[in-house]
């Protein structure tokens, strides 16, 4: 056990699964290094953010495939390779690029098992970075997990820390269905204790990072850290919060969300994706339908405005949810009452 | 200190524990307290446990308030005789605070107390080796599906008098996952190899549950290495075992299922929280961990019964042996203790489950200390 960054945890998961299973291959733009191509140096960078560093050197060009800049072709190839016996991990770089290959994901990979009557498996992982806070502007900052969660046939993972990332990525690679694995680009240097051995974290089980009595905060991906920070501040003010990290938006651990709301009676949902039809809407609907009687106050959502992500730093800061906004939302639900008891 | 002023301080329950939360005071200022009485509930990320008074007297002052999170060793309150004046108590608190500020050397000691992985034969074993003193060393052997943190409330207390070693058995915790045929013979051999690697010719052996059976196997196979045996709800004496509970301990993959499985180990179910279950699941989810446990399960608990019989070893033992068993044990029935031979000193604990060392810590530690001390003197 030692401290590892989010980046190292993902690299280690890929490396250990590639060692364990020769059918695991990597595909993507610059996964074989990048930048070094013209100078003749291979694996100079390990991808745009260094996540796949060292894998080309260890596993060679037959398993670490540097692809042309054509998402439609290599994501399609990865889906086909998965259906015919490999376990490809394809890297889409920025998740925003899914616009170029949505048919391959939505109509092909996600549908194979169903369309072939269960006779086909598609053990495909698509890794991509998501999220604002990096000054990457409107075309490289979106948090598109609701888009994938909407498509039946996909599993969607949004890890919240290095420990979570390693275990969930190994689980994703061993899973026989297509999995979208989304890495928040602001978190690559986050550090925490991560076991050296391979391990898995099952999909569809939420993790409680704080346990409290007053308010349940459901937070996704990078928002979990912010929710923890808000919860710690609120604890000093006498408000105790449960912080729930769903880990996967599909499958979604409905049971744990409902149990926590039953316990606390108040719900705040923190989601950095655009506010229409996002996870906060979905979880609100779940709780309104199945735990309405437990609610002591209306549900609050801490979400960005419905605009493209701004490039300007002050505007991007204003756009993003943060610990202050979460703290304010929790205080607001503590003050509110839905119904007076007659 | 004629007035018997005693500081109540934040205890250190676990290896990783650096701070704890004073969940609540059980007693109010002015209440009489006897040594061993529970005075407060302390909460850590791993466990909630009663804090038992180290002295008798009157709880004179609560320095810390319920809900406060404080570092290990911080002053919680003061127990003293009725004769001590309020001024004396205030002076005691002031001097305590000053002393603690001066010490600051705790860091280096804490680093020594961290477990480390050492290579022993074919195994890499995660070992926590603490304490020194005149007495012969003590080896702690945890049970099936456990790890060295099962001794987190005992090891440092026993280490005040001698070297005390806790380790993760092969297949458990942070040790390597190869367990051979999974038999107690193989596990006892690993324990013996560990003693050799640490240059310990003879040790007092404490074994809990399956670790108790391993301790008996050590005595059978390496009699010269064993000074005394302390068996805590040991396996290997009867046939009966709660097979379903064992299976859940291995196979549970959801927090709530693991929490339920762990709750079978204790009588007071509130001891096992979600966080504790998450910590056990972290270890279970390591590659090879469940397979190792299944191998041990097949070797030691085949067909829903205990398939190891170490009763003859206990009957023939010519060294001091003591036995602890919770009367409410849901995993290995306490009947195993009732049939133990006469030469064994028995402690049957009412209202306690399968883990007396965690559930009845102060009494357990005191009885073990007394047993070891007597054995040292006699030797």
d(CA B35, CA A13): 51
Residues A183 and A225 in one domain: no
Among residues A194, A224, A242, the one where a domain terminates is A194
Q: Say what the pLDDT of residue B114 is.
A: 87
d(CA A75, CA A63): 15
Residues A187 and A267 in one domain: no
Residues B287, A198: C-beta atoms closer than 8 Å: yes
Q: Say what the pLDDT of residue A41 is.
A: 67
**Tokens standing for A16?**
């250990």
Residues B275, A211: C-beta atoms closer than 8 Å: yes
pTM: 0.85
Residue B99 has pLDDT above 50, yes or no: yes
Contact B116/A at CB under 8 A = no
Q: Say what the pLDDT of residue B96 is.
A: 76
Sheet holding B75-80, edge to edge: B6-9, B75-80, B57-62, B32-33
Residues A317 and A267 in one domain: yes
Residues A106 and A179 in one domain: yes
Helix (H, G, I), strand (E, B) or coil at A342: coil
Residues A197, B286: C-beta atoms closer than 8 Å: yes
Q: Say what the pLDDT of residue A342 is.
A: 43
d(CA A290, CA A292): 6
**Tokens standing for B374?**
């007597």
Distances (CA, A) of A213 to A148, A240, A241, B350: 33, 6, 6, 33
Residues A202, B282: C-beta atoms closer than 8 Å: no
Residue B141 has pLDDT above 80, yes or no: yes
Question: Which of A12, A195, A210, A232 would best serve as a mutation to test chain B binding (most B beta carbons within 10 A)?
Answer: A195
- Min Cα distance A137 → chain B (Å) is 38
- What would the mean pLDDT of B160-184 be, rounded to a whole number? 96
Residues B285, A197: C-beta atoms closer than 8 Å: no
Closest chain B residue to the Cα of A203, Cα to Cα: B254
Q: Count Cβ atoms within 10 A of the Cβ of residue A105 and give its class: 0-12 exposed, 13-18 middle, 19 or more buried.
A: buried
Q: Say what the pLDDT of residue A63 is.
A: 96
> Of the listed A7, A53, A113, A140, which one is catalytic?
A140
d(CA A288, CA A301): 13
Query: Which of A81-85, A283-287, B39-43, B298-302 has the weakest average pLDDT?
Result: B39-43
CB nearest to B285's CB, from A167, A207, A211: A167
Residues A135 and A93 in one domain: yes
**Residue A310, domain member (yes or no):** yes
Residues A41 and A104 in one domain: yes
CATH of the domain at A40: 3.40.50.970
Average pLDDT score, chain B: 89
When divided into structural domains, chain A yields a total of 2
Residue B344 has pLDDT above 50, yes or no: yes
Closest chain B residue to the Cα of A171, Cα to Cα: B285
CATH of the domain at A259: 3.40.50.920
Per DSSP, helices labelled H in A252-341 are: 254-264, 279-290, 313-319, 323-335
Residues A199, B282: C-beta atoms closer than 8 Å: yes
**Residue A214, domain member (yes or no):** yes
Contact A205/B at CB under 8 A = yes
Residues A275 and A185 in one domain: no
Residues A1, B287: C-beta atoms closer than 8 Å: no
Contact B274/A at CB under 8 A = yes
Over its length of 342 residues, how does chain A's per-residue pLDDT go in tens digits?
789 999 999 999 999 999 999 999 999 998 887 654 555 667 777 888 889 999 999 999 999 999 999 999 999 999 999 999 999 999 999 999 999 999 999 999 999 999 999 999 999 999 999 999 999 999 999 999 999 999 999 999 999 999 999 999 999 999 999 999 999 999 999 999 999 999 999 999 999 999 999 999 999 999 999 999 999 999 999 999 999 999 999 999 999 999 999 999 999 999 999 999 999 999 999 999 999 999 999 999 999 999 999 999 999 999 999 999 999 999 999 998 655 544
d(CA A86, CA A251): 24
Residue B102 has pLDDT above 50, yes or no: no
Contact A200/B at CB under 8 A = yes
Residues B286, A1: C-beta atoms closer than 8 Å: no
Instruction: State pLDDT tens for residues B319-330.
Output: 999 999 999 999
Contact B251/A at CB under 8 A = no
**Residue A199, domain member (yes or no):** no
Pairing of strands B32-33, B123-130: unpaired
Contact call for residues B59 and B48 (beta carbons, < 8 A): no
d(CA B49, CA B210): 24
Instruction: Map out the domains of chain B as residue ranges.
Output: 6-109, 115-378
Closest chain A residue to the Cα of B284, Cα to Cα: A199
d(CA A124, CA A104): 12
Contact A258/B at CB under 8 A = no
- Min Cα distance A197 → chain B (Å) is 6
B115-378 under CATH 3.40.50.1820, yes or no: yes
Q: Say what the pLDDT of residue A275 is.
A: 98
DSSP label of A103: I
Closest chain B residue to the Cα of A235, Cα to Cα: B67
Residues of A in contact with B278 (CB under 8 A): 207
Q: Which CATH class is domain B6-109?
A: mainly beta
CB environment A217-233: b (16+ within 10 A), e (fewer): bbbbbbbbbbbbbbbeb
- What would the mean pLDDT of B8-36 be, rounded to a whole number? 81
Contact B103/A at CB under 8 A = no
Residues A197, B287: C-beta atoms closer than 8 Å: yes
- Min Cα distance A336 → chain B (Å) is 25
Q: Which domain holds residue A62?
A: 2-194
Distances (CA, A) of B51 to B23, B117, B146, B359, B361: 11, 31, 23, 11, 10
Residues A173 and A244 in one domain: no
Query: Which of A322-326, B103-107, B206-210, B311-315 has the weakest average pLDDT?
Result: B103-107
Whether the ipTM is more than 0.95: the answer is: no
Helix (H, G, I), strand (E, B) or coil at B21: strand
Residues of B in contact with A198 (CB under 8 A): 286-287
- Min Cα distance B291 → chain A (Å) is 13
Residues A205, B254: C-beta atoms closer than 8 Å: yes
Residue B105 has pLDDT above 50, yes or no: no
Residues of A in contact with B275 (CB under 8 A): 211
The three-point CA angle A299-A305-A309 to 5° equals 140
Distances (CA, A) of B102 to A13, A236, B9: 45, 28, 16
Helix (H, G, I), strand (E, B) or coil at A22: coil
Among residues A149, A164, A194, the one where a domain terminates is A194
Query: Which of A94-98, B48-52, B120-124, B369-373 has the weakest average pLDDT?
Result: B48-52
Residues A195, B287: C-beta atoms closer than 8 Å: no
d(CA A292, CA B96): 53
Residues B285, A207: C-beta atoms closer than 8 Å: no
d(CA A253, CA A259): 10
Q: Quick check: is A306 catalytic?
A: no
Residues A23 and A114 in one domain: yes
CB nearest to A202's CB, from B174, B253, B273: B253
Contact B278/A at CB under 8 A = yes
Closest chain B residue to the Cα of A237, Cα to Cα: B67
Closest chain B residue to the Cα of A193, Cα to Cα: B282
CA nearest neighbour of A306 among A111, A105, A143: A143
**Residue A200, domain member (yes or no):** no
CB nearest to B285's CB, from A1, A200, A207: A200
Among residues A164, A194, A224, the one where a domain terminates is A194
CA nearest neighbour of A125 among A101, A105, A152: A105
């Amino acid at each position: 056990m030692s401290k590892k960054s989010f980046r190292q945890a993902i690299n280690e998961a890929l490396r250990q699964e590639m060692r364990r299973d020769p059918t695991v291959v990597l595909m993507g733009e610059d996964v074989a290094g990048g930048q070094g191509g013209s100078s003749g140096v291979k694996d100079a960078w390990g991808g745009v953010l260094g996540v796949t560093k060292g894998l080309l050197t260890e596993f060679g060009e037959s398993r670490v495939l540097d692809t042309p800049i054509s998402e439609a072709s290599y994501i399609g190839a990865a889906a086909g390779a998965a259906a015919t016996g490999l376990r490809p991990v394809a890297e889409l770089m920025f998740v925003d690029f899914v616009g170029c290959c949505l048919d391959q994901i939505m109509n092909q990979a996600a549908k194979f098992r169903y369309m072939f009557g269960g006779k086909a498996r598609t053990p495909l992982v698509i890794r991509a970075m998501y999220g604002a806070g990096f000054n990457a502007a409107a075309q490289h900052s979106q948090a598109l997990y609701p888009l994938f969660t909407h498509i039946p046939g996909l599993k969607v993972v949004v890890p919240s820390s290095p420990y979570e990332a390693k275990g969930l990525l190994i689980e994703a690679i061993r899973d026989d269905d297509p999995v979208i694995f989304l890495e928040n680009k602001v978190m690559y240097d986050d550090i925490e204790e991560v076991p050296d051995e391979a391990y898995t974290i099952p999909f569809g089980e939420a993790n409680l990072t704080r346990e409290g009595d007053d308010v349940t905060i459901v937070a996704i991906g990078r928002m979990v850290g912010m929710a923890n920070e808000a919860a710690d501040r609120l604890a000093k003010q006498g408000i105790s919060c449960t912080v729930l990290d769903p880990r996967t938006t599909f499958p979604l651990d409905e049971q744990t969300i409902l149990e926590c709301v039953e316990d606390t009676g108040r719900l705040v949902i923190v989601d950095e994706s655009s506010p229409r039809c996002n996870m906060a809407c979905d979880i609100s609907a779940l709780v309104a339908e199945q735990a309405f009687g437990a609610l002591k106050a209306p549900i609050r959502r801490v979400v960005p405005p419905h605009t493209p992500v701004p490039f300007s730093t002050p505007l991007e800061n204003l756009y993003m949810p943060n610990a202050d906004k979460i703290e304010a939302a929790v205080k607001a639900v503590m003050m509110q009452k839905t119904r007076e008891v007659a | 200190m004629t007035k018997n002023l005693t500081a109540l301080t934040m205890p250190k329950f676990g290896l990783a524990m650096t701070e704890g939360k004073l969940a609540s005071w059980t007693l109010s200022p002015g209440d009489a307290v006897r040594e061993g009485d529970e005075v407060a509930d302390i909460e850590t990320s791993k466990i909630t446990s009663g804090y038992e008074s180290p002295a008798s007297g009157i709880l004179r002052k609560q320095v810390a308030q319920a809900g406060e999170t404080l570092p290990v060793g911080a002053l919680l309150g003061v127990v003293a005789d009725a004769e001590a004046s309020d001024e004396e108590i205030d002076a005691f608190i002031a001097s305590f605070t000053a002393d603690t500020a001066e010490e600051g050397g705790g860091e280096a000691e804490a680093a020594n107390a961290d477990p480390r992985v050492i290579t022993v034969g074919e195994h890499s074993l995660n070992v926590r080796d603490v304490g020194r003193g005149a007495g012969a060393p003590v080896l702690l052997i945890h049970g099936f599906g456990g790890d060295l943190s099962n001794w987190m409330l005992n090891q440092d207390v026993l280490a005040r008098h001698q070297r005390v070693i806790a380790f993760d058995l092969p297949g458990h915790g942070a040790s390597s996952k190869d367990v051979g045929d999974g038999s107690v013979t193989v596990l006892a051999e690993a324990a013996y190899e560990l003693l050799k690697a640490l240059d310990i010719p003879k040790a007092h052996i404490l074994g809990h549950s399956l670790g108790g059976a391993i301790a008996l196997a050590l005595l059978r196979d390496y009699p010269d290495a064993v000074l005394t045996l302390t068996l805590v709800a040991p396996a290997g004496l009867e046939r009966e075992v709660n097979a379903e509970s064992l299976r859940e301990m291995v196979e549970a993959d959801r927090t709530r299922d693991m929490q339920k499985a762990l709750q079978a180990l204790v009588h007071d179910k509130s001891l096992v929280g979600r966080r504790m279950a998450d910590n056990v699941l972290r270890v279970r989810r390591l590659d090879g961990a469940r397979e190792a446990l299944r191998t041990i399960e097949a070797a030691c608990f085949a067909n829903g019964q205990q398939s190891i019989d170490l009763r003859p070893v206990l009957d023939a033992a010519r060294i001091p042996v003591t036995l602890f068993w919770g009367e409410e044990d849901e995993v290995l029935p306490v009947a195993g203790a009732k049939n133990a031979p006469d030469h064994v000193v028995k402690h049957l604990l009412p209202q306690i489950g399968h883990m007396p060392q965690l559930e009845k810590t102060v009494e357990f530690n005191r009885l073990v200390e007394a047993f070891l001390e007597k054995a040292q003197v006699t030797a």
